[in-house]
Structure 1
Amino acid sequence: MFAEPSLTHRREGGHDVPLLLWRFPEPLLAVSSAVLGGGVGPREWLINASVAMSYARPDPDAHLAELAAGLGLTGPGIGLLTGVDVADVVTADEDGVRVYATVGLGAPILAADPQAIGFEHRPGTVNIVIGIPQRLSDGALINAVATATEAKAQALADLGLSATGTATDAVCVLCPAGGPVAAYGGPRSRWGAPMARAVHRAVRTGGVTNLATKRSWSDRAAGR
């Protein structure tokens, strides 16, 4: 149902820049907050691409569309960007649910910080991709995004961070487009409970590594 990603590269700025590519054997139903392919609907592929921490393009959706075209991808898909090296993706499995997380915590924030003014784009980013083996209703898909976000925030608390995420985090939940429909995606539902545990484990594991090394993809490319 949920194909494993391949690690590939594109040539950019004189470097081989990594990206993760999923090509789904058949279209999956997805809900996503991604800048490219966000919303609810069928999706045929997904990319999660590393970028430099200095990344400042005002059109990341167009950039991701260019990357997809360069890979020969057609049809509806999802595109994500992150400042970390996507080769460091963390995978977690729980009772049929599969989670992939790239965890960049260079710019953690509190969502409801009363001192926050404006928005400074820094692509550290926690990207979470989730595969669930049963068709979810549209409401359950949206509920699953909330559940995954709660589990991410719990992981960050366990890491000792006073943060709920970063300003550029994205979540994607994918499931079969057909078959019996599960109505719920909350943290005590059939699929929400194992998903929450897997997300928590993946984000916590990735966060430990990221906080210990503090390395972005840019640092790795520069040999730091």
Structure 2
Amino acid sequence: MTGSEWCNRHEQGEHLPFLVWRLGQPMFVASTASAGGGLGQRAWIVNAQVSHDYDRVDLDAHAAELAALAGLRGAGTTMLTAADINRVGRAEDAGVSAEVTVGLSHPTWAAAPDDPAPHVGTINIVAFVPVALTPAALLGGLCTATEAKTQALLELGVPGTGTPSDAVTIACPTAGDEPFCGVRSTWGARLARAVHAAVLDSARMRV
């Protein structure tokens, strides 16, 4: 299991924590994060708490600042959230691990009408699959994790499929030949159960 560590910083007059995953050897990552997202090798992952009035748009520059504070080198992925990341939920299923931070102030339905003044809310998911997935399977893992998140929210009675700025990051050892990560495949099912449990774990800390 690849676990995170805590780092802290002062920013905009606030004491703000962030979670860091130091991957050792670069891993093959698929991520929907705005900074360092996409598909490729990454040496680290960050999930950083920001202030509720966060308004920076230079996200790559901010990600570089956080990486420097943590002593990180190489290419990485940075996720941001105004949710309290002290309430990180963790779960593992047969070698697949997941850590999730859940903010539910502004749940929304995926197919909702346009909102002229959209709110920001964030559920960030970081998960590790211990086998070498093909690029297509790793991208499929993003879908699997999202479905598992939505299942957890429905079980919690949350009126939405997610929040407006959710992000998912899935990592595996390297690009390989395991072709399946859908919800009923061996590794996809384990990923789904780990993410589902971690979302529930984090969400219940809010009560």
Q: TM-score range by the shorter chain?
A: over 0.9
Q: CA deviation at 1:121?
A: 4.8
* CA separation of 1:68 and 1:121: change in aligned 2, threshold 3 A: farther
Match of 1:109, as an amino acid? T
Instruction: Indicate conservation of the 8 Å contact 2:106/2:119, yes or no.
Output: no
Instruction: Indicate conservation of the 8 Å contact 2:90/2:201, yes or no.
Output: no
Q: How many percent of aligned residue pairs carry the same amino acid? A: 43
1:128-176 Cα deviation digits (max 9, x unpaired): 0000000100000111100110111111100112201011100000001
Q: Which moved more, 1:68-77 or 1:104-113?
A: 68-77
Q: Structure 2: any 5+ residue segments left out of the alignment?
A: none
Match of 2:9, as an amino acid? R
Residue aligning to 1:120: 118
Q: Structure 1: any 5+ residue segments left out of the alignment?
A: 213-224
Provide the C-alpha distance between the structure 1 equivalents of 2:10 and 2:205, rounded to a whole number of angstroms. Answer: 26
Provide the C-alpha distance between the structure 2 equivalents of 1:10 and 1:167, rounded to a whole number of angstroms. Answer: 26
1:21-79 Cα deviation digits (max 9, x unpaired): 11111100000001111111000011111011121222233222221123232211000
* Number of equivalent positions: 207
1:92-127 Cα deviation digits (max 9, x unpaired): 0001100000011111100101x32346352x3100
Residue aligning to 2:92: 93
Residue aligning to 1:186: 182
Provide the C-alpha distance between the structure 2 equivalents of 1:140 and 1:120, rounded to a whole number of angstroms. Answer: 32
How does 1:137-216 map onto structure 2 within 5 Å? 137-177=134-174, 181-210=177-206, 212=207
Provide the C-alpha distance between the structure 1 equivalents of 2:124 and 2:161, rounded to a whole number of angstroms. Answer: 13
Provide the C-alpha distance between the structure 2 equivalents of 1:121 and 1:68, rounded to a whole number of angstroms. Answer: 28
| 1:131 aligned onto 2:140 | no
Provide the C-alpha distance between the structure 1 equivalents of 2:159 and 2:51, rounded to a whole number of angstroms. Answer: 25
Task: Give secondary structure in 1 for the equivalent of 2:186.
Answer: coil
| 1:83 aligned onto 2:111 | no
| 1:21 aligned onto 2:17 | no
Provide the C-alpha distance between the structure 2 equivalents of 1:167 and 1:61, rounded to a whole number of angstroms. Answer: 20
Q: TM-score by structure 2 length?
A: 0.94
1:187-214 Cα deviation digits (max 9, x unpaired): 011100011111111112212222x2xx
Q: TM-score by structure 1 length?
A: 0.87
Instruction: Indicate conservation of the 8 Å contact 1:36/1:78, yes or no.
Output: yes
Provide the C-alpha distance between the structure 2 equivalents of 1:136 and 1:63, rounded to a whole number of angstroms. Answer: 30
| 1:45 aligned onto 2:53 | no
